[in-house]
Chain A
Amino acid sequence: MAGNSDTNKNAVNVREMIAEKKKKKSLSNYTEKFIPTFLLLIASISLLTTVGIIITLFTEAIEFFKRVPVWEFFTGTVLKPMSQNPEFGVLPLINGTLISTFIAMLVAGPIGIMSAIYLSEYASDRVRRVLKPLLEILAGIPTIVYGFFAFTFVTPLIRSIFPEVGATNILSPGLVMGVMIIPMIASLSEDAMSSVPNSMREGAFALGATKLETTFKVVIPAALSGIISSFVLGISRAIGETMIVTIASGSSKNFTFDITQSMQTMTAYIVEVSSGDAPAGSTIYYSLYAVAATLFIFTLLMNILARYLSRKFREEY
């Protein structure tokens, strides 16, 4: 009670307090004006870095193309950078990248989308609350662990069934990369599917549609743009993946479609060359930049494709 009378004595006058504060506002006014500029500067750091990287990439790549004709680089099927008569054909690397990506997506696509369907449409709340975070933890495993797993577990397993498969081959890292990408596709597709409003499902149920019909003919079409984005992101991830293929696919620069053989991807080539001692200024040194620029263009195209597709398949609701 004593406290009560106390407050009464020092009756708080809010209006006066605000007026008092307002006088001191000049400093905060200044901050308010300064903040947007400050934030713009911060935001431009990432932009400027990107621009810087692109400039370096392409100026050095141009240096490379002064020594090796563009045509030869993009159509050559032989890559022998260390040989006496070096040849710089990028096709073996592109081939290795595409094949490993294809194998990975063959695994990650169907499994990812089916997991997403289960999580979004069939799993109870409790199951979803447990499974989804688990899935996302799986996405956080360092890729070197996956690479080791491919090399020391999956490859021997494949070889025990098909002895003709090489100790390093593109199949095993492709499969493991697929497993690595599953959580990404499952999680993003699940997000897309669970953001389809329930009223759509109700509309379909009310017409006598079963759960499966509703899922495949209403929910998936409505979520298609998100699902496609998740696929394209998965592909980008596979193209850019480095450690798994470096460890488990070896460094043979084979130009072949035989998935039991060792192949090298663009990323693995960059690892190999930059961790070896390529003297700065040599053709092999500049070839790094040419391959990196090619890789950059690949992922850029994938991102553009992703935007285009997701816009094209967007169903407005």
Chain B
Amino acid sequence: MSQKITVKLNDQVVKKTGRQEKKRAVFETNQLNLWYSDTHALKDINLSIKEKEVTAVIGPSGCGKSTYIKTLNRMVELVPGVRTTGEIKYKNRNILDRNFRVEDLRTQVGMVFQKPNPFPKSIYENIAYGPKIHGIKNKKILDEIVEKSLRGAYIWDEVKDRLNENAYGLSGGQQQRLCIARCLAVEPDVILMDEPTSALDPKSTLRIEELVQELREDYSIVIVTHNMQQAARISDKTAFFLNGEVIEFDETDKIFTNPKDSRTEDYISGRFG
């Protein structure tokens, strides 16, 4: 299995270098600083995240990697006492601007959380929720969206006969794929994944990783992970965070084979973290 993924990864690398010039940045982060009350959690972050790529964010606990991706859809604002400076440009508009509607941003920038969090509703209603709040009411269209999204997250075959059952009857891995399907249902541009496999068993983890490989064709993905093998397997670029700073950001291959910074090397070789 791991061999297959390696082959796939190499394929991607070849494809990626071929296409590189055409790729636009989806997120352009400039001098981003963030404070939780008095704690300086992100320091002068500069990152450019390209479209249709998988960008992995790695680093030890408390280094600010989750904070960073939560800033990309402004979910970080749910924490009281958060302040930010600098800018994050999404398609050339600064999303940290007060006039930027967070609802619009979050419709285009979906998120998958660490712990699967389906709504306590039926599987069908979980997927239909997003389209419904954005005004799609036609039952036939909703049916189509539900099937398409569930197929997109490779869970359709497992749930097609029990769409009206409560989502909490699914296994953890299935719930997480359901959450990915829920996110796909509003057809975002970007999918943020905050340690999506940390609560799952190895088999479910593998399925999610394979899913990420499929999704990179149509979506830009930013994934926070604790698992360095995972970052190496599935990402095109990797950013290494430490104490709220970006230490190194480069092609995943370079980070894992030839890191420029000694701290990156120490971390990926397991000397700390």
The reply on B255 being an interface residue by CB < 8 A is no
A204-B166 contact, Cβ under 8 Å, with A199-B115, A210-B103, A315-B121 = no
The reply on B110 being an interface residue by CB < 8 A is yes
Chain A CB count within 10 A is highest, among B75, B108, B133, B179, for B133
Report yes or no: A202 in contact with B168, Cβ–Cβ below 8 A.
no
Q: How many angstroms from the CA of A187 to the CA of B119 in the assembled complex?
A: 24
Number of A-B residue pairs with CB-CB distance less than 8 Å in the complex they form: 77
B135 to chain A, nearest CB (A): 11
Report yes or no: A206 in contact with B133, Cβ–Cβ below 8 A.
no
Which B residues are CB-close (under 8 A) to A197? 117
Report yes or no: B133 in contact with A209, Cβ–Cβ below 8 A.
yes
Q: Closest chain A residue to B104 by CB distance? A: A208
- Chain B 115-148 interface 0/1 with A at a Cβ cutoff of 8 Å (1 = within): 1011111000000011011100000000000000
Q: Which of the 9-residue segments A17-25, A54-62, A214-222 touches chain B?
A: A214-222
A85 to chain B, nearest CB (A): 60
The reply on A30 being an interface residue by CB < 8 A is no
The reply on B40 being an interface residue by CB < 8 A is no
- Chain B 170-200 interface 0/1 with A at a Cβ cutoff of 8 Å (1 = within): 0000000001001100100000000000000
The reply on B235 being an interface residue by CB < 8 A is no
Which residues between 277 and 317 of chain A lie within 8 Å of chain B, taking CB atoms?
315-317
Give the residue of A202, A207, A208 whose beta carbon is less than 8 angstroms from that of B78.
Answer: A202
Report yes or no: A218 in contact with B119, Cβ–Cβ below 8 A.
yes
- Chain B 204-247 interface 0/1 with A at a Cβ cutoff of 8 Å (1 = within): 00000000000000000000000000000000000000000000
B205 to chain A, nearest CB (A): 20
B222 to chain A, nearest CB (A): 13
Report yes or no: A221 in contact with B129, Cβ–Cβ below 8 A.
no
Report yes or no: A200 in contact with B111, Cβ–Cβ below 8 A.
no
The reply on A203 being an interface residue by CB < 8 A is yes
Which A residues are CB-close (under 8 A) to B104? 208
Q: How many angstroms from the CA of A204 to the CA of B130 in the assembled complex?
A: 8
Which B residues are CB-close (under 8 A) to A136? none
A211 to chain B, nearest CB (A): 9
The reply on B31 being an interface residue by CB < 8 A is no
Q: How many angstroms from the CA of A266 to the CA of B113 in the assembled complex?
A: 55
Report yes or no: A205 in contact with B119, Cβ–Cβ below 8 A.
no
A277 to chain B, nearest CB (A): 58
Report yes or no: A204 in contact with B134, Cβ–Cβ below 8 A.
no
Report yes or no: A200 in contact with B119, Cβ–Cβ below 8 A.
yes
The reply on A72 being an interface residue by CB < 8 A is no
Range class of the B interface residue count: 20 to 34
The reply on B106 being an interface residue by CB < 8 A is yes
Q: How many angstroms from the CA of A197 to the CA of B168 in the assembled complex?
A: 14
Report yes or no: B119 in contact with A203, Cβ–Cβ below 8 A.
yes
Instruction: Give how many A residues have a beta carbon under 8 Å from the other chain's beta carbons.
Output: 22
Report yes or no: A202 in contact with B166, Cβ–Cβ below 8 A.
no
Report yes or no: A217 in contact with B106, Cβ–Cβ below 8 A.
no
Q: How many angstroms from the CA of A227 to the CA of B94 in the assembled complex?
A: 41
Report yes or no: A316 in contact with B117, Cβ–Cβ below 8 A.
no
Report yes or no: B182 in contact with A315, Cβ–Cβ below 8 A.
no
A250 to chain B, nearest CB (A): 48
Report yes or no: B107 in contact with A208, Cβ–Cβ below 8 A.
yes
Which B residues are CB-close (under 8 A) to A213? 133
Report yes or no: B119 in contact with A206, Cβ–Cβ below 8 A.
no
Q: Closest chain B residue to A206 by CB distance? A: B111
Give the residue of A204, A207, A316 whose beta carbon is less than 8 angstroms from that of B168.
Answer: A316
The reply on B73 being an interface residue by CB < 8 A is yes
A123 to chain B, nearest CB (A): 13
Which A residues are CB-close (under 8 A) to B168? 316-317
Which A residues are CB-close (under 8 A) to B134? 208
Q: How many angstroms from the CA of A218 to the CA of B130 in the assembled complex?
A: 11
Report yes or no: B166 in contact with A315, Cβ–Cβ below 8 A.
yes
Known pairs A125-B80, A197-B117, A204-B119 / 19 extra A-B pairs, C-beta < 8 Å:
A199-B115, A203-B118, A203-B179, A204-B133, A206-B183, A207-B106, A207-B107, A207-B129, A207-B133, A207-B186, A208-B103, A208-B106, A208-B133, A208-B186, A209-B130, A217-B133, A218-B119, A221-B120, A222-B119
Residue pairs across A and B with Cβ atoms less than 8 A apart, 9 shown, are A202-B111, A203-B118, A206-B113, A208-B104, A208-B133, A217-B133, A222-B119, A222-B120, A317-B168
Closest 3 CB pairs of A and B: A208-B107, A315-B120, A199-B117
